Structure 1
Amino acid sequence: MASELTIERVLTLVELVPRGRVVSYGDLGGIVGIGPRQVGSFMSQHSDGLPWWRVTNASGDLPRDLLDRARPHWADEGILVKRNGLGCRIADYRADLEALATAYRVRIADTLERTGTAIPHTSNPAARALAAAGITTLEELSEWRRSDVLALHGTGPKALGMLDLALAEAELEWRA
């Protein structure tokens, strides 16, 4: 079960996809640190009022029902449908992912400050490993399995013990 914070992160990122550009579910998942299927699930449940038509599969395609609804938006934004009629050429319309990730980090910082509990400092290697994985709050950490965090280069048993304690104090736990 995803936290409200993770859902908020995905939806914030969708809001930032520029007009006339698209990204894949995997592109968004890579920036947020979750899988593309989770992104798709969140989008199917929470995309009202968002530019959902700017999020496609890795090939730039959408299911027929969504494509039919996306076509007017794409036409308005200058996104052309491929000859096969399944979607757009994602290579031609993909947003600048580096710029998108930077804009996302700036926008989400306020949200994380308001809603997240900072991770305690463990060690420099562990802090770098967690940051590289996009884990900045205990709430985000609780969405990970303990074994997956231990597998991050730089995170050892001592750091994991400190994270165990911090999660328990915040009344959170590792994902099962």
Structure 2
Amino acid sequence: MASELTIERVLTLVELVPEGRVVSYGDLGRIVGVGPRQVGSFLRHHSEGLAWWRVVNASGDVAEGLRAQAWPHWEREGIARKPNGLGCRMEAYRADLVVLERAYRERIADTLASMGTSLPRTSRPAQNTLERAGVTTLEELSEWRRADVAALHGMGPKALALLDTALGHAGLDWRA
């Protein structure tokens, strides 16, 4: 089960997708550090008030059951459908992911400060590894299995021991 903070991070990123542009579930997942299926699940349960029609699969397609609802939004925003009618051409409508990630990092900073517990200082390689994986708080770390973090390049036994201790002090644990 994902933390409230992780869900908030995904929803914040969806809010930032510009009008007339789309992103894939995988694009969002890479920026936040979760899988594309998790992104889809979060949107399925928490998309009220969000421009959910701007999130598509890797081919630019919209799920069959959502197309009739998405097309009026796309027409209003100027997103043209592919000849097969299933979605749009990603190369023409994908949002600039670098700009999107930068805006996301700026917007989410306050949320992370108010909702999350900072990670302990570890070695630079371990810090970089966690950052690349999208892990910025202990709450997010607790969504990972210890073995999966240990397998990441740059994560050593000393860093893992520090993370074990920090999780325990925060009343958290690794995912089972």
Q: TM-score, normalised by structure 1?
A: 0.97
Q: 2:136 matched to 1:136? A: yes
Partner amino acid for 1:167? L
Alpha-carbon distance in 1 for matches of 2:85, 2:128: 44
Alpha-carbon distance in 2 for matches of 1:128, 1:36: 22
Partner of 1:120: 120
Partner of 1:88: 88
Alpha-carbon distance in 2 for matches of 1:173, 1:123: 21
- CA apart distance, 1:164: 0.3
Q: TM-score, normalised by structure 2?
A: 0.97
Alpha-carbon distance in 2 for matches of 1:43, 1:133: 21
What is the count of residue pairs matched by the alignment? Answer: 176
Alpha-carbon distance in 2 for matches of 1:128, 1:32: 15
Q: 2:13 matched to 1:13? A: yes
- CA apart distance, 1:103: 0.6
CA 1:171/1:99 → structure 2, altered by over 3 Å: closer, same or farther? same
The Cα offsets for residues 96-141 of structure 1, whole Å up to 9 and x where unpaired, read as 0111111111100000000110001022221121122221110111
Partner of 2:147: 147
Partner of 1:68: 68
- CA apart distance, 1:63: 2.0
Q: Structure 1 segments of 4 or more deviating over 6 A?
A: none
Alpha-carbon distance in 1 for matches of 2:132, 2:37: 21
The Cα offsets for residues 34-90 of structure 1, whole Å up to 9 and x where unpaired, read as 110000000000000000000001111112221110111000100011111111111
Alpha-carbon distance in 1 for matches of 2:104, 2:115: 16
SS at match of 1:118: coil
SS at match of 1:95: coil
Alpha-carbon distance in 1 for matches of 2:124, 2:136: 14
Q: 2:79 matched to 1:79? A: yes
- CA apart distance, 1:13: 0.3
Partner amino acid for 2:80? L
Partner of 1:169: 169
Partner amino acid for 1:45? H
Unmatched 5+ stretches in structure 1: none
Partner amino acid for 2:88? C
Unmatched 5+ stretches in structure 2: none
- CA apart distance, 1:14: 0.2
**Identity among equivalent pairs (%):** 70
Partner of 2:50: 50
Partner amino acid for 2:102? T
